[in-house]
A and B are shown apart, each in its own frame.
Chain A
Amino acid sequence: MMRVKLGTYIVKRLFLMIIVMFGVATIVFFITHVIPADPVGAILGGNAPIELVDQMRHQLGLDKSIPLQFINYMEGIVHGDFGVSLKTNRSVLKDIIDFFPATIELAIVSMIFATIVGVVLGILSAVYRNKVIDHFSRVFSILGVSMPVFWLGLLLLLLFYYRLGWLPGGGRNSLFIFPPHITGLVLLDSVIAGDWTSFWDGLRHIILPAFVLGYASAASIARIMRASMLDVLRQDFIRTAKSKGLSKRVVIYRHAVKNALIPVVTIIGLSFGSLLSGAVLTETIFSWPGLGRYIVNALLVLDYPAVTGGTLFIAFIYSLANLIVDISYAVLDPRMRV
């Protein structure tokens, strides 16, 4: 019975996601095909010869009517064909496959960092409410959601790279270190290949960007964890556990934390979206060869096929993350399945 219901819920959500993705593709079509009055002029400049302009309009399919363009566009997307990047002259899909692992690696490391720091700070904050550690954790949190990511990144770069020289200044690996290529995730590949020099090098490169990117998420996780812990600690079953004579340690770690973690799961999932947004800025500052930087560069030179592909892909990943959060929530809490 349970299983059937969960199944229908997942099917319903998947169906909704298909509709939403169709809408997402339409929004991106408007951004890349309808709003720009003269994309070719913007790319080639005002003085380009007319033959060149015509040729490019033809290449981009802009000489057709808007509805026809829309049909061609949707057809391309369904086949995973976003066209050819005007800048790199390669298939946009290939570009995305090349650039995406860097982003996902950065996002995963940031998420791990944010979750550990956020959950630990949240627990300590709630257990030692209004003590020094609580104040420290709250200041840490409010600063985390207030500081602009790009500014924090630049200042840390100034301190740890230029002034102290402790950490490298950007990129995924040093010049003469060639990490093995298996999955595209440098750290994972190095471990698989047992190449510890390259692992250490990759780790040193990812520390600063992962901290900068994960800080805001760590801050919001800490806040939610604190509130959730305080809520749980007030519940009757905690009083029961205490009156049974269990030690404070067992009550907190065996009973309270487990229950307090449920709302945190949602926040961790939702943070993934802000991570993808933040990745755009973080990757730009740390010259991280990921999808965020790819999209920024494409936007700055109005490389529309690349913009279309990159934006759609990011939206797809983001929606997928939200779907997974909703489903895992439904598994954890059956009341959510409405």
Chain B
Amino acid sequence: MSEVKGVAQKGRFKLFLERRKPIIEDWKHTFYLWKSTTLAMVGTVIIFVFFGIAIFAPLLTSYDPIAQDLDNRLLPPSSQHLFGTDQYGRDVFSRVIYGSRVELWIIFIVSIISVGIGTLVGIIAGYFGGAVDEVLMRITDMFLAFPRLVLAMAFTASLGPNLTNTIIAISFVDWTVYARLARAEAIKVKSQPYIEAIRGLGAKNTRIMAFHVLPMSISPVIVQLTLRMGTIILTAAGLGFLGLGAQPPIPEWGAIVSDGRSYLVQQWWITTFPGLAIAIVVLGFNLLGDGIRDILDPRLRR
């Protein structure tokens, strides 16, 4: 009995494979391309290590990233304190380790909000066209008329500088990129015959946008998002450094760099290590992004 069931299952699985063959082939090819782009692999490894550090932070260090220990102020790097200690006696290594959680949180929420606003605005603009498109795109232009960091700074300062407002500010600055992309895709999709067919069947605009235009427009947005993650970290760290982002004692990497600024000459380690962490993670995202761009490049795919 169970044998029969097993065969039937295997048959169904084979059928499934058969039907999905082109997609699976495509995935295999993508994987092959990914493997042959060494730099993309290096980037992926860096990002995975970054995620791992953020998840397992408490296992990697026994020091509290926030509690002060004034007896052990400004100690140089040693086997006890790998990256030394800061002016409050906090272990810089564990601040950098826990900082990865802060950065990951920022990336995560900023991605959700900015992609959300961006695709909504972009799809509505592209789908309806005409006056709606004109108005929404002019609003986008208005946000694009500011240098990014300056607008984000003004937003956080006005909302009150803290982690949540940093995230809101960066999202408000970043959505324009996705809006433009989603709009371009929506314009392409809406003139397809199948959209006409669905409309002929009586589907409402909201339904067409949500179930037919959105899924077709989202992939370039997601690709762009991975390309921009490095920039998100750099902006958040820049805000933290200026004192307009996450506030002490939150171990945000940019803010730690700023902590070490007055001790730069004698206690170089407070500034150096968190900055290095930013550089490595951003490098990882950039390598991965470059790799993705190469893999998606039709000239390379052929």
Return A321 CB to nearest CB of chain B, in Å.
10
**Contact in complex: B141, A20 (CB < 8 Å):** yes
Flag whether A1 is at the interface (Cβ < 8 A): no
Interface hit among A114-122, A124-132, A140-148, A244-252: A140-148
> When the two chains form their complex, are residues B241 and A281 in contact, meaning their CB atoms are under 8 A apart?
yes
Instruction: Give the nearest-CB partner of A284 in chain B.
Output: B242
Give A318 to B159 CA distance when docked, in angstroms.
24
Contacts of B230 in A (CB 8 A): 145-146
B157 engages A302 (CB within 8 Å): yes
A281 touches B238 (CB 8 A): yes
Q: Which 8 residue pairs across A and B have the least CB separation, nearest first?
A: A151-B275, A23-B142, A277-B149, A299-B157, A277-B147, A146-B283, A276-B147, A146-B282
> Which listed residue, A19, A146, A154, touches B264 by the CB 8 Å rule?
A154
Most A CB contacts (10 A, CB to CB) among B142, B154, B244 go to: B154
- CB neighbours (8 Å) of B155 from chain A are 31, 35
Contact of B150 among A23, A277, A284 (CB under 8 A): A277
Tell which of B63-71, B121-129, B178-186, B265-273 binds the partner.
B265-273
Interchain CB contact under 8 A, A314 and B150:
yes
Q: Is residue B302 within 8 Å, beta carbon to beta carbon, of the partner chain?
A: no
B146 beta carbon closer than 8 Å to chain A: yes
Chain A interface mostly: helix
B278 part of interface (Cβ distance < 8 Å): yes
CB <8 Å contact, A314 and B146: yes
| Number of A-B residue pairs with CB-CB distance less than 8 Å in the complex they form | 140
The interface size of chain A toward B, counting residues with CB under 8 Å, comes to 48
Given A148-B237, A154-B275, A162-B265, A28 and B283 touching (CB < 8 A)?
A: no
In the bound complex, residues from chain B placing their C-beta under 8 Å from that of A31 are 154-155, 158
Separation of A106 and B287 alpha carbons in the complex (Å): 30
**Residues of B contacting A16 in the complex (Cβ-Cβ under 8 angstroms):** 138, 141
Q: Is the CB of A162 within 8 A of B150?
A: no
Q: Mark A292-325, 1 if CB is under 8 A from B, else 0.
A: 0001100110100001000100110011001000
| A322–B258 alpha-carbon span in the complex (Å) | 32
The interface residues of chain B lying within 8 Å CB-to-CB of A27 are 142-143, 146, 151
| B257 CB within 8 Å of chain A | yes
With A and B bound together, what is the CA distance between A90 and B151 in angstroms?
A: 24
B-chain residues with CB within 8 Å of residue A299 when the two chains form the complex: 153-154, 157, 244
Q: Does A151 contact B271, Cβ atoms closer than 8 Å?
A: yes
Are A151 and B279 also in contact (CB < 8 A) when A31-B155, A277-B148 are? yes
Residues from chain A with a CB closer than 8 A to the CB of B244 are 296, 299-300
Say whether B139 faces chain A, with CB atoms less than 8 Å apart.
Answer: yes
A273 within 8 A of B: yes
Q: What's the dominant secondary structure at chain B's contact region?
A: helix
In chain B, positions 248-288 with a C-beta closer than 8 Å to chain A are: 254, 257-258, 261, 264-265, 268, 271-272, 275-276, 278-279, 282-283, 286-287
* CB neighbours of B258 from chain A (8 A): 150
A36 contacts chain B at the CB level, 8 A cutoff: yes
Out of A23, A24, A35, A146, which one reaches B159, CB within 8 Å?
A35
Closest to A42 in B: B160
| A148 & B278 in contact (Cβ 8 Å cutoff) | yes
A28 near B154 with CB under 8 A, answer yes
Bound-complex Cα distance A23 to B146 (A): 11
Is A280 a contact partner of B264 (Cβ separation < 8 A)?
no
> Complex Cα distance A314/B276, Å?
30
The chain A residue with its CB closest to the CB of B146 is A315
B145 at the A/B interface (Cβ < 8 Å)?
yes
- Asked if A280 and B145 sit within 8 Å, CB to CB, the answer is no
- Closest approach, in angstroms, between the C-beta of B252 and any C-beta of chain A? 12
Q: How far is the CA of A86 from the CA of B153 in the complex (A)?
A: 19
Per the 8 Å Cβ criterion, residues 37-86 of A in contact with B are none
Docked complex Cα distance between A315 and B147 (Å): 7
**Is A32 an interface residue, CB under 8 A from the partner?**
yes
Instruction: Tell yes or no: A210 within 8 A of B by CB.
Output: no
User: For residue B242, which residue of chain A has the nearest CB?
Assistant: A296
Asked whether A273 lies within 8 Å of B241 as measured between CB atoms, the reply is no
A148 touches B154 (CB 8 A): no
- The CA-CA distance from A315 to B237 in the complex, in Å, is 22
What's the nearest-Cβ distance from chain B to residue A223, in Å?
9
- Whether A158 and B265, one on each chain, are in contact in the complex, defined by CB atoms closer than 8 angstroms, is yes
Find A307's partner among B154, B261, B279 (CB 8 Å cutoff).
Answer: B154
Q: Is the CB of B234 closer than 8 A to any CB of chain A?
A: yes
Given known contacts A19-B138, A314-B150, A24 and B157 CB-to-CB distance under 8 angstroms: no
Of chain A, the residue at the smallest CB distance from B165 is A35
Q: Which of B150, B254, B257 has the most CB of A within 10 A?
A: B150
Distance between Cα atoms of A318 and B141 in the complex (Å): 12
Question: Taking the nearest CB of chain B, how far is it from the CB of A31, in angstroms?
Answer: 5
A88 interfacial by beta-carbon distance below 8 Å:
no
Chain B residues with CB below 8 A from A260, complex form? none
CB-CB nearest in chain B for A27: B142
Whether A142 and B272, one on each chain, are in contact in the complex, defined by CB atoms closer than 8 angstroms, is no
Within 8 Å of chain B (Cβ to Cβ): is A332? no
